[in-house]
Each structure stands twice: as structure tokens, then as C-alpha cells.
Structure 1
Amino acid sequence: MNVEIEEKYLKELAGGSRKAFEVLYMTYAPRVEYFLRGLLKNDLEAEDITQDIFYKIWSNRETIAQIDSFKSYLFRMAKNAVYNHYSHLLVKENYIEIEKNKQNYEDLIEEKIHAEDLELLIVMSIEKMPPQRKKIFKMSRFEHLSNDEIAQQLNISKRTVESHISQAMSDLRKLLVLYVITFM
């Protein structure tokens, strides 16, 4: 478009002329959209941003006559719109990542609380066991002694050790089932 004709349409646009806006739109919108398609690699986003740019031009039409080069102004707006678009996407992705990490952190805290509660219940259950069973269980699980070693140290049969450990494990399994039903 000729510079003098463009200036004429810009002055008319500044005065509120829809006809001038339509001429400028029909002249430049396809070029802006093509430019945006090259940058964004997305036809729909390019079309949307082009519409947004021309909406802004219409909304700010009173000051449009002061622009030296409408074409340069349009392409600067397009370039800035692309920067804003990608900046918005980055903010959105960061927000999603933060929320995901926040949820993971909350899940970890909840798991830690459950683990601590369960550990406390197990300790309490062990402490409530009959003295001999408690002693044998602790030697087996916390001191990592074999059934033979426990039997030797306590002067009892290996079968008695196995029986006490088996009963202790049965008690703990019942506790775990109750815990899972109650808290999970």
C-alpha cells in the first residue's frame, strides 16, 4: 500500500472509520497471519493472534494516526505477541510443574505420616507381646540373629523360637490389615 494512502486510512481510522479499518485489515491481516504462522507453526494460534492484534488496533484507533510506519508497527506487535504467547506458555508450564511438585510433596508428607503412624503401631504392638515372644522377636528382627543363635542364647529349642516368631508375625499381620482398612 502506498504511504500516502496508508496515512489517509490511518487518519480516517483515528476518526472511527470502519471502512478505513476494513481496508487496512484486508491489506495487512493476511501478511501478519502468514508471518505469525512462520513463527508459531500453528495456524489457529496465528489466526487468533492476528485477530487480537487488529482488535487492539481498533481499540486504540484514536492514537493510530501518530504511527510513522503502520506496517512496521503491525509486525512489531506481531513479534511482541509471539513473545507474550511463549511467555504465557512458559508461565503455564511452570505453574503446572509447581502444582505437580506440590502434590507430590503433599503425597510424600502424607506417606511419611502414615509410615510413622504404622511404625508407632508396630512398636506398640511389639511392646504388648508376652515378654518371651517380644525378646525373641527383637533378637530376630532387630539384632538379626538366626533362630539357632536365639535358641542357643536363651537355652530353648529352635522350634520354640520359630513358634514365637510365627505368632509375633501373625499378630503384626493382623495389625497391618486393621491399619490398612482403617486408614487407607
Structure 2
Amino acid sequence: MPHISALHQETELLISVSQGDERAFTALYNHYHKRLGTHIYRITKSTELAEEVVHDVFLKIWLNRETLVNVENFSVYLYVISKNAALNCLKRTIRERALTTELDTDSEQVSLPDTPEDDYRYILIDEAIDRLPPQQRQAYLLARHERLSYVEVALRMNLSKETVKKYLQIATEFISAYIGKRLMVSIWLTIQNFL
């Protein structure tokens, strides 16, 4: 019978949360967040990503709290949405790392300008950075040139870590696209000169 009582209490807790009771939400968070963190850590193998996903999942639960009255087994519901969130987080992280690696490779090739082509790439990177919106430019320079972590950049700029990650992702994509487009134009003009 204790199991039925615990189930009944959890149902009442979910109803309270669905009605906007912050204390009930805090109780729900306190009850599940450590176990959920362990579950997500097994997927991500990163304490930082696990913490991020736990907070994102509970934020999503709070924002969609009205739907909790329809949840029959909250622990299963929680683990399913957290697994999906963790996998999405991993995909996003892999994309960000790929973009960063691509840009870092380009930067390494440009860091020692020995030829006019290397000088040109270096100039293009500077031009692209200069064309970024101020917040993205500052986040990019802090992360790439000063080698600060997302958390350190977020603290320095008084932004959330997620905002910093988004700024860096957008900035990296823009810089890569800008350099690629300008190099293609340059190659095309060079070919035209030979024709």
C-alpha cells in the first residue's frame, strides 16, 4: 500500500504544479533532479551538459505545466523527455564542435601569413568578425581569442550560457560562410582573368 500512497502524493503534486504552485514544483525538482542528472550523465558523459539538460528539462516542464495533469507516470515521462533533450544537446554540441574545428583549422592556416593568399584569408577573417553584431562579436572574441569558456563569457557579458553558445554558433557559421563566399568570388575573378 505505500506504493499507492506515494503514487497518489505524486499525482497531487503534479496537479499542484499544473496550477502554478512553485513550492510543489520545487519539491518535484528536488525529488528528481539528482537521479535525472545521473541518467543524463550516462548519455552525455559530461557533467556540464547533464546540468544544462536537467535545467532545460525542468524549465520545459514548468513552461508546459498545464499538461502535467494528463501524465500518468511522471518518472517515465521525465526520463523520455530528458533522453530526447540529452540527445538533442549532444547533436548540437557535435555541430558546434565541427564548426569550431573547421574555423580553427582555417585560422591555423592563416595564422602565419607567408603568402598573399594567407594574408587574404587573414583579412577575410577580420572582415567577417567586424561584420558581426556587437554582442556576437564580443562573445566570439572572448571565446576564441581570450580562450574563455562559455560560462566565463556569460559572466563577463552578463548573459546566459545558452545565449553565449547561440551567439558563438551563429558567429562561427557567419564567419565560415563569409570566408567561403569571398574566396569563391576571388577564385572566380582569378579564373576570369585567365580567360
DSSP-derived class of the 1:68 partner: coil
Q: Give, in whole Å, the separation in 2 of the partners of 1:109 and 1:90.
A: 33
Return the offset for 1:41.
2.5
Q: If the length of structure 1 is used for normalisation, what is the TM-score?
A: 0.52
Unmatched tracts of structure 1, length 5 or more: 114-184
Task: Write the letter of the residue equivalent to 1:61.
Answer: R
1:28 maps to 2:32: yes
Unmatched tracts of structure 2, length 5 or more: 121-195
Post-superposition CA distance 1:71-119 (Å, at most 9, x none): 11111122112111110111112212443566659x88816x9xxxxxx
CA gap of 1:37–1:101, structure 2 versus 1, over 3 A, is closer
Q: How does 1:106-117 map to 2 (within 5 A)?
A: 110=117
CA gap of 1:97–1:32, structure 2 versus 1, over 3 A, is same
| CA RMSD across the alignment | 2.7
Post-superposition CA distance 1:47-93 (Å, at most 9, x none): 22212211111111111211121111111122112111110111112
Select which of 83, 87, 92 maps to 1:88: 92
Q: If the length of structure 2 is used for normalisation, what is the TM-score?
A: 0.49
Q: Give, in whole Å, the separation in 2 of the partners of 1:38 and 1:97.
A: 25
Identify the residue that residue 13 of structure 1 maps to in structure 2.
17
Shift >4 Å, 4+ stretches: 100-105
Q: Give, in whole Å, the separation in 1 of the partners of 2:67 and 2:95.
A: 31
Q: Percent identity?
A: 26
Larger radius of gyration between Structure 1 and Structure 2: 1
Identify the residue that residue 180 of structure 1 maps to in structure 2.
none
The alignment covers a number of residue pairs equal to 113
Return the offset for 1:20.
1.4
Q: How does 1:1-184 map to 2 (within 5 A)?
A: 2-100=6-104, 104=109, 110=117
Return the offset for 1:42.
2.4
